[in-house]
Amino acid sequence: MVSTQLDGIREQYERDGYVIIRNAIDPALAEETSRHVDWLLEHNPGIRPEQLHHTLMRQDPFMHHLVGDDRLLDIVEPFIGSDIALFAAHYIAKAPFKGQPVLWHQDGSYWPLEPMEVITIWLAATDSTKENGCMRIIPGTQHQKLLTLRQMQKIDDGSNVLGYGIDPRTLEEDKAIDIELKAGDVSIHHPNVIHGSNANDSPYWRKGLTLRYIPTSTRITKEGHSPFLLRGKAVAGVNEYEPRPRFVEGQHMPFAGAETWNDQL
């Protein structure tokens, strides 16, 4: 990543609700992230590639290694400060020809966070294009209030990733921007900005990892989320952090750095 890309990102973020950062991680780490999706699918038969949730990552050394990468933390620090935790990680991977759409939504509608101080990094493990169902964002909508799930349409028939969506007739869909990324690029977005994505009807995988970073002063008000402390200090009485797991050969996906991982714990 060229560090000058971080110049002015706050202004862009405040204006549009999102920013794209190219080459945020190197090709080898993007490739390992893509391989991690394959590994998780192989070890969790029956789970759709769009539904590889945080619970699968809690004890996964590669995920802890990836989300604590200084290049990612340096991107979020200007927004949330230097005491940083990860609230949740979720791969939304879309298989060729059958990847599901994500209906229009605002992330904050789903999250038990108090206050709603949080920023998402969407990390491209493969190229993510219009053709294979890249994320789409309606710029400027981060200034709108969060809708509750009750104010959204419930479409939980298994045809889409989240089961809820904002009624498209209430939106200016023609203003949506396709967030096209190369493997290793990231976009960041605001919890109120309206976004979604189309189905993947192409012959190519689209593998994206959503990472929700919070300042340690943000409280997770629902039990069972197991956040990770990544940089700086915890705030006394706010959240309990998951210990970093040991790497066990044969049990975890091998990755560059796994050989010294346990020494850093």
Ligand X SMILES: O=C(O)CCC(=O)C(=O)O
Nearest to 124 by CA among 181, 79, 166: 181
Give which of 132, 129, 127 is closest to 183, Cα–Cα: 127
Pair of tokens at residue 50: 């769009």
d(CA 61, CA 243): 11
The secondary element (H helix, E strand) that includes residue 11 is: helix 9-16
**Binds ligand X (CB under 6 A): choice among 64, 190, 195, 252:** 195
CB-based contacts of 24: which residues, under 8 Å, 6+ apart? 1, 71, 72, 75, 121, 123, 184, 185, 186
Which one of residues 33, 34, 160, 197 is an interface residue with ligand X (CB under 6 A)?
Answer: 197
Q: Could you say whether residue 109 binds ligand X (CB under 6 A)?
A: no
Report how far residue 245's alpha carbon sits from residue 63's, in angstroms, rounded to the nearest whole number.
10
Q: Read off the DSSP letter of residue 150.
A: G
For residue 122, state whether it binds ligand X (rule: CB under 6 A).
yes
> What residue is closest to ligand X based on CB?
197
Question: Minimum Å distance from CB 259 to ligand X?
Answer: 32
Name which position in 16, 32, 77, 107 contacts ligand X (CB under 6 A).
107
Q: For residues 178 and 134, is the Cβ–Cβ distance under 8 A?
A: yes
204-243 residues near ligand X, rule: CB under 6 A: 208, 210
Q: Which of 34, 100, 109, 120 binds ligand X (CB under 6 A)?
A: 120
* Contact track, ligand X, 67-96, x by CB under 6 A: -------------------------x----
Given CA atoms 231, 217, 219, 195 in this order, what sign does their dihedral have?
negative
What residues numbered 134-153 form the site for ligand X, per CB under 6 A?
135
DSSP reduced 3-state for 113: strand
- Closest approach of ligand X to the CB of residue 163, in Å: 12
Interacting residues of 263 by C-beta distance below 8 A, sequence separation 6+: none
Q: Is 102 in the site for ligand X (CB under 6 A)?
A: yes
The nearer residue to ligand X, 65 or 94, going by C-beta atoms, is: 94
Q: How many residues bind ligand X (CB under 6 A)?
A: 10
**CB 126, min distance to ligand X, A:** 12
| Shortest CB 230 distance to ligand X, Å | 19
Residue (189 or 252) nearer to ligand X, CB: 189
Contact positions toward ligand X, by CB under 6 A? 92, 102, 107, 120, 122, 135, 195, 197, 208, 210
